[in-house]
Structure 1
Amino acid sequence: MQAVHVIAAEAAAVVISDRGPVFRAALVVHILAGLTSVVSGALAAASRKQGGRHPAAGTVYFWGLGAVFATATVMASMRWSRDAHLFAIAAIAYTLAIGGRIARRRRPQNWAVWHAAGMGGSYIALLTGFYVDNGSQLPVWDRLPHLAYWVLPAAVGVPLIVLGLVRFGAPRLKPPRPGARRTGAPPAPQE
């Protein structure tokens, strides 16, 4: 039987099975990268979408999420039967972030929509992975059914992303102004 280490937090104790020094080192980096990603992702989302804070925080978020994915890969490879789903969540999160970053750099048509959906979706996946792995050990969250850990981040995050896209004028998501001509529609008759 393997040893079990307990890390005492202020409000709760989180139980972590011991897989040796490589696992522990990966876990420490994973936690630090996850915290960095949560904070920098929130800063990027809340800042004005212009040069300065938004791209700087977004870059920190992207590389922090890359470290989360790399360390999740290491830890899942050591406990595959227990952590395969967490590896999948981390892979989805990082893939979405890569897509969001590519959209920003290459700027295809509607790139802002692709960028926001990719980066916002990756943030939702990051939080989902955290809650799926730790929700049962967190105050208040420990009272929720396990399905809530999978669903709540998206239930809150997706409407916020759509609201942001509509608010900031994303094409095809913003409701047309009354009497406005739609792209591809025949011109309005002139009087």
Structure 2
Amino acid sequence: MVEFEPFLGLDVASTTAVFLTFLSVHVAAALVAIVTGIVAMLAHKGPGRHPRVGRWYLGALLVVFATACVLAGFRWPADLPLVLAGGISVVGGLYGFIFRRLHRPGDVPHILAMGVSYIAMLTAFYVDNGPHLPVWQLLPVWTFWVLPSVVGVPLMVRAVLRRKRLTTAAT
């Protein structure tokens, strides 16, 4: 069982300067990833805002994963599932980014990869923080693993179908 220490009203794995520094960077990068991910999803696709903000998302996601790996060392092996979810998020983000950079035909692989990336990132967040969030703390633990997918997968399907409809209409 991992021991927690109180810090500013929160329970953290350690109050050492190293841990708190990595935690601060991790939280800041996660906020950037969450916001830029939403902005990229809602932005007009094509040159301009979407790819620019998407690069910010991927950069922030890489920082989140790197710092998560360091932070997991303080609660190992309990944080192994979070590291795995973070790894899935990074692989999805990198695949979606590389797919687009290589100018492969079609948008579906990019949409699915980036969607999986965002869902996995939110899943790791909710699994780690859900028990401490108002309202979320009332939910059973399994919902933290499932709800991001329950919400995200239908949105990904909608985006894929919409993109296919737009592509078909353009030809």
Q: Using a 3 Å threshold, how does the CA distance of structure 1 residues 71 and 170 change in structure 2: closer, same or farther?
A: farther
Residue 75 of structure 1 pairs with residue 71 of structure 2: yes
Deviation at 1:170, TM superposition (A): 6.5
Partner of 2:30 in structure 1? 34
Match of 1:92 among 88, 93, 98: 88
Counterpart AA for 2:160: L
Question: Structure 1: which 5+ runs fail to align?
Answer: 9-13, 178-191
State whether residues 19 and 78 of structure 1, in contact with CA within 8 Å, keep that contact through their aligned partners in structure 2. no
Q: Distance in 2 between matches of 1:75 and 1:27?
A: 7
State whether residues 113 and 170 of structure 1, in contact with CA within 8 Å, keep that contact through their aligned partners in structure 2. no
Deviation at 1:128, TM superposition (A): 0.4
Q: Distance in 2 between matches of 1:2 and 1:167?
A: 48
Greater helix fraction, Structure 1 or Structure 2: 2
Partner of 2:123 in structure 1? 128
- RMSD of equivalent CA atoms: 2.1
Deviation at 1:79, TM superposition (A): 2.0
Match of 1:166 among 126, 142, 161: 161
Deviation at 1:7, TM superposition (A): 2.9
SS in 2 for 1:81: coil
Partner of 2:103 in structure 1? 107
Deviation at 1:3, TM superposition (A): 6.9
SS in 1 for 2:50: helix
Partner of 1:187 in structure 2? none
Q: Distance in 2 between matches of 1:87 and 1:20?
A: 21
Partner of 2:5 in structure 1? 4
State whether residues 29 and 64 of structure 2, in contact with CA within 8 Å, keep that contact through their aligned partners in structure 1. yes
Residue 56 of structure 1 pairs with residue 52 of structure 2: yes
Question: Structure 2: which 5+ runs fail to align?
Answer: none
SS in 1 for 2:164: coil
TM-score (norm 2): 0.90
Q: Using a 3 Å threshold, how does the CA distance of structure 1 residues 170 and 85 change in structure 2: closer, same or farther?
A: farther
Runs of 4+ that moved beyond 4 A: none
State whether residues 34 and 68 of structure 1, in contact with CA within 8 Å, keep that contact through their aligned partners in structure 2. yes
Residue 148 of structure 1 pairs with residue 148 of structure 2: no
Aligned residues: 168
Summarize deviations over 1:98-117 as a string: whole Å, max 9, x none. Answer: 0101110113343x111111
- Give the share of equivalent positions with the same residue, in percent: 40
Partner of 1:119 in structure 2? 114
State whether residues 96 and 122 of structure 1, in contact with CA within 8 Å, keep that contact through their aligned partners in structure 2. yes
Q: Distance in 2 between matches of 1:129 and 1:50?
A: 30
Which structure is larger by alpha-carbon Rg, 1 or 2? 1
TM-score (norm 1): 0.81
